[in-house]
A and B are shown apart, each in its own frame.
Chain A
Amino acid sequence: MSEIILKTTGLTKTYGQQHAVNQVNMTVHRGDVYGLVGQNGAGKTTLIRLVTGLTLPNSGEIELMGAHTASDLQHVRSRLGSIVESPALYPNLTATQNLETYRLQRGILERDCVARMLALVGLAGAGKKRFKDFSLGMKQRLGLGLALMSNPDFLILDEPINGLDPTGIVEIRDLIKRLSSEGVTILISSHILTELAQVSTRYGFIHEGKLLLEVTDRELAERCRRASHITVDDAAHAATVLEGQLGLRDFKVVSATEIRIYDQALQPAELARALFEHGIFVSGLQQLGDNLEEFFTELIDPRNHQVA
């Protein structure tokens, strides 16, 4: 098991009577690109604000790069890079001046890192432009440059592709992949699931403040795979029929009465009829999702909360 970069235990934050984050147990390992998935208002940003120390939890613990105590957490946060909610920089300063201010504040000695960061995020030609005159996409890029200034071990990005045009999205995606390949652990929150699906190696699904599920990309791919989920009276017998009589090999016996069939050679209705003809009673048949959105929609359905 790889080193744990972030672990929260029973993390809770309430505002009045409302639980913004409710008993969240979350684990990010070194090298992960952790996709934090949730609707608007699900608690993603509050969770990130707790991790970055912008707000204090009501209860629960945060372990960040091995640190537990408040003073240790503060110390290790110097190894973080983050964009929380939206990039916050000084509007009347230029891009270069903003990064230089931050360089001085962080005590970063390399003077050329400002120019390097501007080039890295595709703003080499906009260094003399004031932040207030930037488009939303350019602001996002500059925010990312600022987050990367101190070569962080752990990068936390809250909705990093908001406002980016398609080219910008591709560039940021490539940058995230490159940083990941260089060993930077990344936590990305987003509600744009198709984008997360292209970079994440691990996912956390949050809804109404609760972390419903944590899975690796492989586990998620397995769960999202298009399949016919059938409920029968005898799954073992049904498996024999599927393989021997119907020639289907790609299926999984989930329980004594449930089978998940990934082989799409037969339509669901044909499948039910074929099984019935071989003496197997099919009491339920369900088509399972084929993409992250459907999986997520299914997951946050109140009737399915017991999944986690």
Chain B
Amino acid sequence: MFNIIRADLYRLSHGKVIYSTYALLFAGIAMGALFSEYPAPLVVTTQITLVIPFILAIIYAVCAPDFNTAAIKNALANGSPRTSLYAARLILSFLLSELLYLLGIAVNFAAELISPAPPEMAYVGSSATLLTSIATQSFMILAMVATGCAIIFISRRGVVCIAVFLALFFGVSIALSIISFAGVEWIVSYDFTYTMGRFAAQFGDLEQAELIRGLALGAFYLLASTALGVVLFRRSEIK
């Protein structure tokens, strides 16, 4: 598995996707922080939904090329265990996504420090609350990455992952907000975005129940999607 991760890192380091994904996000965050009226912690946590497309780009860059090019045949025909392949891609996607998120936060704080216009609003939360919020969101990102990887490994097509995420995260969210159809919390997009958003909005007085609910939800998506992905990929036919 370590060899697969090494090979993937080599492949990604010789492509443009990862660099451009990181650069675009950091540029966006920095611009936002420079001119935002909100303090950095609030910007970071409420920006979580904006990070989602970039995380999706990472999942795609790590998992999809093997299927898009059929290069996965090379590894499988030469005895690489399917579970190891899956685990390697999942772990690498986790690492790169979390790095993106945490570096995004760092960029945000850094940009605010050099901002010519300090935020008008003051940050009222504690450091502990902020860290809890970030930790919870990090965990939710893991769940999202696991779900994305599972979609690619099950469908064996990168574009399916993008289509599903766009439809669920944005399409459904937009549709829900338009029709104000409150209470349908089982939908993945609503769960992720709504829960993350709520953490952000309420991090000043984060409730224990909210935290537990979010973590449980993330754990469910992480475990269920990974289990399903591994089981189906182990039996799937590689074209």
Contact = CB atoms under 8 A, between A and B. Distances in A.
Q: Do A and B bind each other?
A: yes
Interface of A: 49, 52-56, 74-82, 84-86, 88-93, 97, 100-102, 104-107, 146, 150, 156
Interface stretch (B64-72, B170-178, B189-197): B64-72
A186 B77 CA distance: 15
Nearest to B17: A92
Contacts of A75: 79
Contact of A100 (B10, B75, B77): B10
From A77, A85, A88, A146, residue with most partner B Cβ within 10 Å = A88
Contacts of B15: 92-93
B80 A105 contact: yes
Given A52-B76, A105-B3, 19 more contacts: A53-B77, A54-B237, A56-B235, A76-B79, A77-B78, A82-B77, A84-B77, A86-B70, A89-B69, A90-B65, A91-B69, A92-B15, A97-B11, A101-B10, A104-B6, A105-B6, A105-B7, A106-B78, A107-B3
A49 to B, nearest CB: 8
Contacts of A146: 74
A46 to B, nearest CB: 10
A78 B78 contact: yes
A67 to B, nearest CB: 10
Contacts, number: 82
B71 A89 contact: yes
B11 A56 contact: no
Nearest to B65: A90
A137 B70 CA distance: 18
A88 B70 contact: yes
B77 A74 contact: no
B79 A74 contact: yes
B238 interface: yes
B81 interface: yes
A19 to B, nearest CB: 16
Given A80-B79, A82-B78, A150-B78, A54 B73 contact: yes
Contacts of B65: 90
B3 to A, nearest CB: 4
Contacts of A82: 73-74, 77-78
Interface of A: prevailing SS = mixed
Interface in B25-73: 65, 69-73
B162 interface: no
Interface string B1-29: 00110110011001100000000000000
A77 B79 contact: yes
Contact of A54 (B3, B4, B14, B77): B77
B77 A80 contact: yes
B69 A88 contact: yes
B218 to A, nearest CB: 31
Given A53-B77, A74-B81, A77-B77, A104 B71 contact: no
A84 B237 CA distance: 13
Contact of B11 (A76, A90, A107, A150): A90
Given A77-B77, A77-B78, A90-B71, A105 B4 contact: yes
Interface in B75-93: 75-81
Nearest to B75: A105
Contacts of B235: 56
B76 A102 contact: no
Closest 8 A/B residue pairs (Cβ): A77-B79, A105-B7, A78-B79, A52-B77, A88-B70, A104-B7, A107-B3, A54-B238
Between B69, B71, B74, B76, the greatest number of chain A beta carbons within 10 A of the residue's beta carbon is seen for: B74
A91 to B, nearest CB: 6
A106 B78 CA distance: 9
Contacts of B238: 49, 54-55
Contact of B78 (A55, A80, A86): A80
A222 B75 CA distance: 41
B42 to A, nearest CB: 39
A276 to B, nearest CB: 60
B7 A102 contact: yes
Contact of B69 (A55, A84, A90): A90
A88 B78 contact: no
18 contacts: A49-B238, A53-B76, A54-B76, A54-B238, A56-B235, A74-B81, A78-B78, A80-B78, A81-B78, A82-B78, A89-B74, A90-B11, A90-B69, A93-B11, A104-B10, A105-B3, A107-B3, A150-B78
Interface centre among A78, A80, A89, A105 (most CB of B within 10 A): A105
A56 B78 contact: no
A101 B7 contact: yes
A78 B84 CA distance: 14
A90 B8 CA distance: 11
